[in-house]
């Protein structure tokens, strides 16, 4: 009887060891596949980040805040560019508050809402591109701006377009 008990214990222990071995092997294989997939995801994520950084640099190319030559142009005249850039944008947005038609938007509104400038990008020390809309119709315009010797800001519409309704 004692022999059979030892035999059963030995078989049970052997089955337990085999179970542990197979279970551990499966867990390790799963971890290895998870690590491999995470490394691949990390590679694609790094590539996506690099692509987005390149795209961001391309978008920043025509931007007054990143154009050293244009900033130097203003600094030579004694302007603080950190204050000047928000000032230029604010002056354009202030024109939205006028009661009559917008003085810069060359198109009259075809709805009950007025044409307003929505988005502004300062390209350099002379040009601005702006987006305008009345809620239904929209367009873009290229503006020329200058600060006169008596520190007055003047805008001039160089070109504009109104997109057809969809």
Question: Of 132, 119, 126, 134, whose CA–CA distance to 154 is shortest?
Answer: 126
What pLDDT, on the 0 to 100 scale, is given for residue 146?
92
pLDDT-based confidence at residue 20 (cuts at 50, 70, 90): very high
pLDDT class of 48 with cuts at 50, 70, 90: very high
pLDDT of residue 59: 84
Q: What percent of the chain has pLDDT above 90?
A: 60
pLDDT tens digit string along 96-146?
998 888 899 998 888 888 999 999 999 999 999 999 998 899 999 999 999
Classify residue 140 by burial, with Cβ atoms within 10 Å: 0-12, 13-18, 19+. middle
State yes or no: pLDDT of 9 exceeds 80. Answer: yes
Higher pLDDT, 6 or 38: 38
What is the residue extent of each domain of the chain? 1-61, 64-162
């Amino acid at each position: 009887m004692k022999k059979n008990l030892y035999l059963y214990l030995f078989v049970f222990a052997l089955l337990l060891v085999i179970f542990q071995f197979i279970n551990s092997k499966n867990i390790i294989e799963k971890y290895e596949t998870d690590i491999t997939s995470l490394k691949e995801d990390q590679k694609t994520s790094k590539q996506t980040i690099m692509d987005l950084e390149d795209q961001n640099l391309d978008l920043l190319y025509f931007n007054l805040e990143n154009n050293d030559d244009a900033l130097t142009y203003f600094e030579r005249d004694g302007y603080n560019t950190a204050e000047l850039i928000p000032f230029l944008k604010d002056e354009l947005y202030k024109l939205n508050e006028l009661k009559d038609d917008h003085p810069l938007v060359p198109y009259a509104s075809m709805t009950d809402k007025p044409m307003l400038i929505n988005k502004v990008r300062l390209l350099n020390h002379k040009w601005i591109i702006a987006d305008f809309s009345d809620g239904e119709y929209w367009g873009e315009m290229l503006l020329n701006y200058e600060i006169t010797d008596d520190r007055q800001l003047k805008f001039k519409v160089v070109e504009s377009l109104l997109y057809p309704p969809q």
